[in-house]
Amino acid sequence: MKAIKNRDSVAEAVGFLSARVTGEARRDSIPLSEAEIRQLSFTEETATAEEIAIARAFDEAHDTDEFETKIAKLLREAFKDDSKHGLRSTWEKHLAALRSHDVYILVMVDQAGIHRPKSVVRPVASAIVSKTLKGKPSDIAAGLITVLGFVYFIILHTGSSRRSQPIFGNFAEHLVPNEQARAAFFLLWLGSMLWLFVRYRD
């Protein structure tokens, strides 16, 4: 029963945000296609294989940065107008309902600078994968390198205590025996993390 109520709250929250986007677009005479409106409610948590394919086709056919900038602006204006009319609490209620969910429209909510409660238990790796899977090939590559670098430089070099040998012994050195190769991988790892930070700092 609780799961059904939560699902209804999420659907209601997504519907509210999408409606505010379309409403603001009509008011400002900004065209929005059916594909763009549908994309707002995309979430990998419940998406079918067909929905994932449609979302990826949308990314390939549209300039993602341009689309997100347009939606973020509409959200910002709608939030500002609603706040003036005493509806800020309504936004807060719906954003709270989405705090533990990866709905695409929340990317634009963050870009719009609208504060929302965020889940403190959401794994960092999940956040990276969620965004990079919807991103461009360069984002996906950077996400993969970031994860591999974390495994190699952090996990494989971690000991049971500060002064002990790594739990996995010398496996890391055997995996990449060349010092120059390790240095190059380290720089690539740092560059990938910086890339993702710049792309998704909002």
User: Which residue, 93, 87, 94, is CA-closest to 11?
Assistant: 94
Enumerate the β-bridge partners of residue 43.
103
The SS3 of residue 163 is: coil
Which pLDDT value is given to residue 138? 73
Residue 116: φ, ψ to 5°: -145, 145
Q: Which amino acid is at 143?
A: G
Say which range, 3-7, 32-36, 51-55, 144-148, has the weakest mean pLDDT: 3-7
pLDDT tens digits, residue range 128-185? 555 545 556 777 788 788 888 788 777 776 644 444 456 566 666 767 777 888 888 8
Which pLDDT value is given to residue 4? 44
Cα 131-172-125 angle, rounded to 5 deg: 15
3-state secondary structure 97-119: HCCCCCECHHHHHHHCCCCCCCC
The 8-class DSSP code of residue 152 comes to I
Cβ-proximal residues to 20 (8 Å cutoff; 6+ apart), any chain:
74, 75, 78, 79, 82
Tell which wins on pLDDT, 130 or 42. Answer: 42
Which pLDDT value is given to residue 102? 84
Q: Which helix (H) or strand (E) holds 74?
A: helix 64-84
